[in-house]
């Protein structure tokens, strides 16, 4: 095993040269048992994002069901907004706690806490009291917060560096796996002549997290977190097993250990990390701008109207059949899954900035046409004009899917250093919660009051998004998590080079690895 720079085929354009020089071979991951197992665990973790997607699609379907509408006393306006927004309140209350647990007790602990909330919330819908349904949504929102913080951190920090960009972007695609299942379960139960038409889809929120449980039990703890709490040998064992197939002389493991350990030592420990640090340096202030703006754009670009109030939107353009409404909702989720997954697999080939900019442009064109056609339908009542809105809703979501879905968690996890990664991701999620709480509460009131004219607000937001991405969002393709600091903090923040790892590997082969450690600090200085 050597360090030849020519040994680069098969590893993709998103891998930097330092990393390429320590990768052992060109064989694809599915030919290596240790990577097959690792990716099975990561695929299981991706299912946790289905909780959010299931909820969004579920509420669309339930609002189209007469049985649910009657059970909830036919909610409209502010009351309907509150029923949807209580889910986001549960998330907002939980997120500050997720940071403390993730940093003190590890990344996996928060996932287990999320199970407790999800199980309790899913069973609460059995009650005949509509208040229990609202409490259920609050508890499911709490579960989503625990999943939404812990799981993206864990995926980013255990992934093989050659595939991290793709698998981290795939996490939020699980939103549409859950959304698709919820949409078609609701479609299938729409004619059940009792409250079980909506209780069955509500209880099945447990389905995908239960399927994910075996993978969660198998997945290792984050090696980066283990190093941060001085469990270095355990971290090395995990990297050796998961990334190198048990090869104790792996140059890749040496490279990762040096890079991660040095970066964490430079950042100090997690014990005194605080939210105040998020705006102390120019680099962190730029990261903070990105984290906050990404959370806002993900919810205020117009998707919130369609995600939670598709039935209302369809009724405004003349689609009143429950069968048609639930079928369109299901097909939209499949469409979203296809485009979001395709974008996630392309992140290292196309880059982050091109996908963000294309997303803003496609959504803007789609929303302008939706607004124009909705206005025309309101004036003329032409069925053809109303139906024409539907394909442009699909165009809009194709734009949303190619960036705002895969990058909502992947981009914040990439840009923040380990010390503040959980804090930075939480800031994005809290921004999402605040924006969505506002949206889900205000959208039905605005739609009821001014109808299609409300869409003009989102056209303006999409223009602002395009400008913000162009001026402030950097390209992160080709950087490891530790090397990402160079983009924001300058070359002095760079981790050890491939040559440093090569020297470490050479010494390791001689059985004197400890001799190298004394030179590391000198090289960084």
Task: State the Cα torsion 63-60-136-210 to the nearest 10°.
Answer: 140
Question: For residue 498, what pLDDT is reported?
Answer: 47
- The span from the CA of 267 to the CA of 179, in Å, is 39
First to last CA, the chain: 30
Question: For residue 294, what pLDDT is reported?
Answer: 97
CA–centroid distance for 65 within its chain: 29
Do 454 and 370 meet the contact criterion of CB atoms below 8 Å apart? no
Lowest-confidence range among 48-52, 123-127, 357-361? 123-127
Do 15 and 478 meet the contact criterion of CB atoms below 8 Å apart? yes
Instruction: Assess if residue 114 is contained within a domain.
Output: yes
List, as one string, the DSSP characters of 464-512.
Answer: HHHHHHHHH----TT--TTTTHHHHH-GGG----HHHHHHHHHHHHTT-
**Residue 490 to residues 282, 283, 493, 494, Cα–Cα distance (Å):** 11, 9, 6, 8
Could you tell me which residue, 518 or 57, shows the higher pLDDT? 57
- What is the rounded average pLDDT of the residues 489-517? 54
Which pLDDT band, with edges at 50, 70 and 90, does 457 fall under? confident
476, two tokens:
């992160």
496 has pLDDT over 70: no
* Share of residues in the chain with pLDDT > 90 (%): 38
Q: Which helix (H) or strand (E) holds 399?
A: helix 383-401
In CATH, what number is assigned to the domain containing residue 369? 1.20.1250.20
477 has pLDDT over 50: yes
Could you tell me which residue, 374 or 466, shows the higher pLDDT? 466
Could you tell me which residue, 62 or 304, shows the higher pLDDT? 62
CA neighbor of 396 nearest in space, from 423, 426, 449, 359: 359
Could you tell me which residue, 451 or 457, shows the higher pLDDT? 457
Question: For residue 523, what pLDDT is reported?
Answer: 46
Which pLDDT band, with edges at 50, 70 and 90, does 174 fall under? confident
- What is the rounded average pLDDT of the residues 111-128? 85
HEC secondary structure over 229-288? CCCHHHHHHHHHHHHHCCCCCCHHHHHHHHHHHHHHHHHCCCCCCCHHHHHCCHHHHHHH
307, two tokens:
């995600």
45 has pLDDT over 70: yes
- Other beta carbons within 10 Å of 295: 22
For helices 130-158 and 407-415, what crossing angle results, to 10°? Answer: 50
- The span from the CA of 11 to the CA of 477, in Å, is 13
User: What's the count of helices (H) and strands (E) in the chain, helices before strands?
Assistant: 26, 0
Instruction: Assess if residue 166 is contained within a domain.
Output: yes
104, two tokens:
């003190």
Instruction: Assess if residue 247 is contained within a domain.
Output: no
**Each residue of 413-434: pLDDT tens digit?**
999 998 899 999 999 999 998 8
Do 196 and 203 meet the contact criterion of CB atoms below 8 Å apart? no
Instruction: Assess if residue 330 is contained within a domain.
Output: yes
Which residue is listed with tokens 């197939």?
Answer: 245
Instruction: Assess if residue 245 is contained within a domain.
Output: no
Q: pTM above the 0.85 mark? A: no
Question: For residue 58, what pLDDT is reported?
Answer: 79
Question: For residue 2, what pLDDT is reported?
Answer: 37
Do 381 and 199 meet the contact criterion of CB atoms below 8 Å apart? no
- Number of domain units in the chain: 1
Which pLDDT band, with edges at 50, 70 and 90, does 111 fall under? very high
Question: For residue 390, what pLDDT is reported?
Answer: 81
Instruction: Assess if residue 13 is contained within a domain.
Output: no
- What is the rounded average pLDDT of the residues 56-83? 78
- Angle at alpha carbon of residue 98, lines to 97 and 100, rounded to 5°: 70
515 has pLDDT over 70: no
Question: For residue 259, what pLDDT is reported?
Answer: 87
77 has pLDDT over 80: no
Lowest-confidence range among 174-183, 209-218, 324-333, 480-489? 324-333
Question: For residue 5, what pLDDT is reported?
Answer: 36
- The span from the CA of 24 to the CA of 6, in Å, is 12
475, two tokens:
């390209």
**Each residue of 348-365: pLDDT tens digit?**
999 999 999 999 999 999
Lowest-confidence range among 305-319, 375-389, 400-414, 456-470? 305-319
Which pLDDT band, with edges at 50, 70 and 90, does 500 fall under? low
Q: Is 177 left (phi over 0), alpha (psi -120 to 50) or beta?
A: alpha
Q: Which domain holds residue 48?
A: 29-229+270-488
524, two tokens:
């960084």
* Share of residues in the chain with pLDDT > 70 (%): 85
In this structure, what DSSP letter does residue 47 have? Answer: G
**Each residue of 309-335: pLDDT tens digit?**
566 667 766 777 777 777 887 788 889
308 has pLDDT over 70: no
Which residue is listed with tokens 């927004």?
Answer: 85
525 has pLDDT over 60: no
13 has pLDDT over 50: no
- What is the rounded average pLDDT of the residues 495-523? 47
- What is the rounded average pLDDT of the residues 387-414? 91
- Other beta carbons within 10 Å of 74: 11
In this structure, what DSSP letter does residue 442 have? Answer: H
514 has pLDDT over 50: no
Question: For residue 519, what pLDDT is reported?
Answer: 45
Lowest-confidence range among 71-85, 175-189, 261-275, 453-467? 261-275
Do 152 and 171 meet the contact criterion of CB atoms below 8 Å apart? yes
Please compute, for residue 31, the number of CA atoms within 13 A of its CA located in the half-sphere on the CB side.
5
Q: Is residue 406 classed as helix, strand or coil in its secondary structure? A: coil
262, two tokens:
């040095």
9 has pLDDT over 60: no
Instruction: Assess if residue 34 is contained within a domain.
Output: yes
Which residue is listed with tokens 């998004």?
Answer: 465
What is the average pLDDT score of the chain? 82
Question: For residue 510, what pLDDT is reported?
Answer: 43
Do 402 and 362 meet the contact criterion of CB atoms below 8 Å apart? yes
**Each residue of 197-248: pLDDT tens digit?**
888 888 888 888 888 999 999 999 999 999 999 999 999 999 999 999 999 9
Instruction: Assess if residue 367 is contained within a domain.
Output: yes
């Amino acid at each position: 095993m050597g360090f030849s720079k020519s040994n680069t085929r098969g590893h993709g354009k998103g891998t930097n040269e330092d990393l390429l020089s320590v990768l052992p071979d060109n064989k694809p991951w599915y030919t290596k048992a240790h990577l097959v197992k690792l990716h099975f665990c990561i695929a299981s973790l991706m299912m946790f994002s289905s909780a959010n997607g299931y909820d969004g699609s579920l509420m669309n379907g339930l609002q189209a069901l007469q049985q649910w509408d009657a059970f909830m006393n036919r909610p409209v306006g502010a009351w309907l907004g509150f029923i949807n927004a209580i889910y986001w309140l549960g998330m907002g209350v939980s997120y500050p706690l997720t940071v403390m647990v993730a940093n003190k007790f590890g990344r996996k602990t928060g996932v287990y806490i999320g199970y407790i909330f999800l199980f309790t919330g899913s069973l609460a819908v059995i009650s005949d009291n509509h208040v229990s349904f609202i409490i259920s949504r609050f508890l499911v929102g709490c579960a989503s917060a625990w999943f939404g913080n812990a799981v993206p951190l864990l995926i980013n920090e255990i992934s093989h560096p050659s595939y991290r960009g793709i698998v981290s972007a795939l996490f939020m695609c699980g939103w549409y796996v859950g959304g698709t299942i919820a949409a078609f379960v609701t479609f299938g139960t729409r004619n059940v002549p009792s409250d079980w038409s909506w209780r069955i889809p509500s209880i099945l929120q447990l389905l995908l997290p239960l399927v994910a449980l075996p993978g969660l039990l198998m997945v290792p703890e984050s090696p980066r977190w283990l190093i941060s709490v001085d469990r270095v040998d355990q971290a090395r064992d995990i990297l050796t097993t998961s990334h190198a197939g048990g090869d104790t002389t792996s140059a890749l493991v040496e490279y990762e250990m040096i890079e991660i350990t040095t970066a964490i030592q430079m950042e100090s420990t997690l014990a005194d990390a605080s939210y105040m640090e998020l705006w102390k340096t120019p680099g962190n202030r730029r990261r903070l701008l990105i984290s906050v703006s990404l959370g806002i754009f993900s919810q205020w670009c117009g998707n919130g109207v369609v995600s939670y109030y598709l039935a209302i939107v369809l009724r405004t353009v003349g689609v009143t059949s429950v069968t048609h409404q639930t079928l369109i909702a299901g097909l939209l989720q499949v469409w979203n899954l296809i485009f979001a997954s395709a974008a996630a697999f392309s992140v290292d080939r196309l880059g982050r900035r091109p996908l963000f900019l294309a997303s803003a442009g496609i959504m803007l064109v789609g929303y302008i046409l939706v607004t124009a056609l909705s206005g025309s339908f309101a004036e003329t009542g032409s069925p053809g004009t109303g139906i024409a809105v539907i394909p442009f809703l699909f165009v809009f979501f194709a734009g949303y899917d190619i960036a705002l879905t895969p990058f909502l968690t992947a981009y914040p996890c990439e840009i923040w250093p380990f010390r503040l990664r959980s804090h930075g991701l939480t800031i994005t999620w809290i921004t999402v919660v605040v924006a969505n709480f506002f949206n889900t509460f205000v959208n039905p009131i605005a739609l009821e009051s001014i109808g299609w004219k409300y869409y003009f607000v989102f056209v303006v937001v999409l223009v602002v998004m395009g400008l913000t991405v162009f001026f402030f969002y950097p390209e992160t393709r080709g950087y490891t998590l530790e090397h990402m600091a160079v983009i924001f903090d300058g070359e002095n923040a760079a981790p050890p080079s491939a040559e440093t790892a090569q020297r470490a590997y050479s010494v390791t082969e001689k059985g004197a690895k400890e001799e190298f450690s004394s030179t590391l600090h000198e090289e960084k200085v």
